[in-house]
Amino acid sequence: MAGPLDGVKVIDLTGTVLGPMGTQILGDAGADVIKVEPPSGDTIRYVGPRRSPDMAAYFVNLNRNKRSIVLDLKIPAARAALERLIAQSDVLVHNMRIAAAARAGLDYASLAPKYPRLIHASATGFRQDSSMRDVPAYDDIIQGLSGLAALNGQAAGCDGPRYVPSVVADKLTGHVLASSVAMALYARERSGHGQSLHVPMLDTVLSFLLPEHLWGYSINDPEQGIGYTRMLIPDRRPFATADGHLCLIAVTSAQYLRLFTLFGRPELMQDPRFATTTARGQNIGELYALIAAELRQKPTEDWLDLLAEADIPHGAANRLEDLPKDAYLKEVDFFRQIEHPTEGKMTVLAPPVDYSETKLGFHRPAPRLGQHTEEVLREAGLSEAEIAACR
């Protein structure tokens, strides 16, 4: 069954994490993603365990459903070949600096007059009309500038900022990039013409981070502070049990009544500190400390059974190594085994979205460097002599 973007051709000039995450989502949806790499390849090809030098695990999990071609864009014939590909494509995606794209003639102003239906998508650290448009940015930098590292360190009780242990800024921006491309394609179906779109990392992360943390500033009352109180108390973490940890959160008054009843203390619902949503929010530190003390009295498995029976939201505090054994993830076949033509058996991640009619899926395993160069260039109409000139 064809994916929702079946028939869409994407020229992918991105590298490392942000761009490849976004274009992989487009590929999962059925788009024909042509990954254009320099002769040295995407740097992420060489990060992490691997069987072949250019097929590291990190790369494999960001680049399925793509075809790889190698073009050294310093060679005029290769630059001309790229132009042929762009002419036949629906979308061009890059994450190079704005000024560098303009120098290479790959900015929207250079391409739009020739290809009026082209969706030109780019992502960099900062807005392209700002003074910081060409300042380099990577995940660590954006975690710091956005306040995420400071927030994470504060919540963890560290003596300073601490990065979230995930490339969260890059991957989040990649998801926004993919959804933005899809919306631009929909707009083109109605208008008949393309457009440019740009996704700035810092603004994207702040838009994700601040809805709850803007707090008093949302009502122009800085005295009430910035930062969602519940997120910043020391006990907001997986709770210790008699033999491990678990995750638990009650939200409604009905859930809290059931939780206090499990503790054998239903009268706590009459305590002015805990009787209403507002009161619980104002006394959240005391409330979480009380819950933490109660949960230490029984083993994890006992609590999981009791919480399930009481219909209180809860879950195990899994470690990374627990995930492949998780019953739910096994049930939905989240970790999928494939046979890569050159790399052998590999574990890959299932696309997370289900469509009833246009399924997402695995059309191609992650490509070897330049694996599809001749195939793609022949499809574009290049002669054997023109292909040879690109090498």
β-pair type (314-316, 245-248)? antiparallel
The answer to whether 181 and 119 are in contact (CB under 8 A) is yes
What single-letter DSSP state applies at residue 368? P
Q: Is the pLDDT of residue 1 over 80?
A: no
What is the band of 88 on the pLDDT scale with cuts at 50, 70, 90? very high
In this structure, the chain runs to a length of: 391
Report the range out of 84-93, 215-224, 360-369 with the highest average pLDDT: 84-93
pTM above 0.85, yes or no: yes
* pLDDT at 371 exceeding the cut of 70: yes
Please state which of the four CATH numbers 3.90.1150.10, 3.30.1540.10, 3.40.462.20, 2.60.120.380 is assigned to the domain occupying 239-316: 3.30.1540.10
pLDDT higher than threshold 80 for residue 190: yes
The count of other CB atoms within 10 Å of the CB of residue 141 is 16
Give pLDDT, residue 361: 86
- 3 state SS of 189: helix
DSSP 350: P
Q: Would the pLDDT of 268 be above 80?
A: yes
Two structure tokens written together for 129 = 């009309």
Per DSSP, the three-state class of 358 is: coil
pLDDT at 374: 97
Average pLDDT, the chain: 95
In angstroms, the CA 329 to CA 322 distance is 11
Q: Percent of the chain, pLDDT > 70? A: 100
Residue 234: pLDDT band (50, 70, 90) is confident
| Whether the Cβ atoms of residue 342 and residue 6 lie closer than 8 Å to each other | no
Lowest average pLDDT, out of 51-60, 153-162, 307-316, 375-384, goes to 153-162
Instruction: Identify whether the C-beta of residue 107 lies closer than 8 Å to the C-beta of residue 98.
Output: yes
Higher pLDDT, 76 or 234: 76
Return the structure tokens found at 262.
């499990």
Residue 149 has pLDDT above 80, yes or no: yes
Structure tokens, 19: 């761009």
Can you tell me the mean pLDDT for 299-307? 96
pLDDT of residue 332: 96
Q: Which tokens go with 124?
A: 């960099």
CB atoms within 10 A of CB 170: 26
The confidence band for 177, taking pLDDT boundaries of 50, 70 and 90, is: very high
What is the average per-residue pLDDT within 363-381? Answer: 96
* % of the chain with per-residue pLDDT over 90: 94
End-to-end CA gap in the chain: 36
- Write phi, then psi, for 86 (nearest 5 degrees): -60, -40
| Tens digit of each residue's pLDDT (9 = 90 or more) over 9-46 | 999 999 999 999 999 999 999 999 999 999 999 999 99
Give the per-residue pLDDT at 269: 95
User: 9-208+331-390: CATH homologous superfamily?
Assistant: Crotonobetainyl-coa:carnitine coa-transferase; domain 1 (3.40.50.10540)
Other Cβ atoms less than 10 A from the Cβ of 309: the count is 10
Whether the per-residue pLDDT at 340 is higher than 70: the answer is yes
Instruction: Give pLDDT tens digits for 37-68.
Output: 999 999 999 999 999 999 999 999 999 999 99
Pairing of strands 245-248, 239-240: antiparallel
- Say whether pLDDT at 229 is over 90: no
pLDDT interval class at 157 (50, 70, 90):
confident
Q: How far apart are CA 274 and CA 291, in angstroms?
A: 12
What is the domain partition of the chain in residue ranges? 9-208+331-390, 239-316
Q: Which active-site residues does the annotation give?
A: 170
169: CB partners within 8 A, 6+ apart: 139, 142, 143, 146, 148, 201, 204, 205
- The mean pLDDT value for 319-341 works out to 95
- Select from 44, 2, 39 the least CA-distant residue to 20: 44
